[in-house]
Amino acid sequence: MQHSKSTPRVAVSLGGSETRIIMAANKLSLVAVLVVVASYAALSSARTFTVGDDQGWMSGIDYTDWTTGKTFAVGDKLRFSYGSQYHTVTEVSKSGYYTCSANDALSDDTSGWTVVTLTAPGTRYFICNIPGLCSSGMKLSVTVPESGPVPSEATRGGTLVPAMGSVVVVVAVATGALIKLALF
């Protein structure tokens, strides 16, 4: 007679308090994941501002007026659209901004399509380096305030451009949460 080997099975019986502790830990981990996802979504809600709106980066626009009513934040992007043969986007110091001088240029782009990410609080200065255009008003200063209360969507302006990664993360976490809830 042949004996079959079988894997021994162990039955574990958890009391009521142990079960409640495990369920609480599972719920706590789910809450932690949701908090991380919410934080990531908030960070990825950067806005893209098209400088000069529909007219773009060109002479004859009051860029001081254009910034009025807009609130810029770290992570936002400035999109400059312009004729590359006619204009530049040159980032300069405060002094270069007020004197319309690119001698201390931090960057200079002539591509016709420049995107600048606002990476830190403070003021950034941009001019067109074509002779005579900055002095006739083709310059922009943008201030990102220190961290503080987040303004309402109505006062932010710009176009919300969610990162595709945040959409994938939200879908993945939602799916995981549903599976976890179904199993427990």
103 lies in a domain? yes
How far apart are alpha carbons 31 and 133 in whole angstroms? 55
Mean pLDDT across 140-155 = 70
Mean pLDDT across 92-109 = 97
175 and 87 housed in the same domain = no
How high is the pLDDT of residue 81? 98
Give the residue numbers spanning the domain of 103: 47-148+156-161
SS3 1: coil
75 and 38 housed in the same domain = no
135 and 100 housed in the same domain = yes
Mean pLDDT across 114-118 = 98
The amino acid present at 131, given as its one-letter code, is P
pLDDT tens digits for range 2-11: 555 655 555 5
Average pLDDT, the chain: 76
75 lies in a domain? yes
pLDDT band of 150, cuts 50, 70, 90: low
Each residue of 30-45: b (16+ CB within 10 Å) or e?
Answer: beeeeeebeebeeebb
pLDDT band of 147, cuts 50, 70, 90: confident
How high is the pLDDT of residue 23? 57
103 and 58 housed in the same domain = yes
How high is the pLDDT of residue 66? 97
How high is the pLDDT of residue 159? 47
* pLDDT above 70 (res 55): yes
120 lies in a domain? yes
137 and 57 housed in the same domain = yes
CA distances from 34 to 26, 37, 172 (A): 13, 5, 11
CATH number at residue 111: 2.60.40.420
36 and 87 housed in the same domain = no
83 and 32 housed in the same domain = no
| Helical residues (DSSP H) of 47-163, grouped into ranges | 63-67, 94-99, 153-156
Higher-pLDDT residue of 105 and 27 is: 105
37 and 51 housed in the same domain = no
β-pair partners for 183:
none
How far apart are alpha carbons 27 and 35 in whole angstroms? 12
52 and 38 housed in the same domain = no
The total number of structural domains in the chain stands at: 2
30 lies in a domain? yes
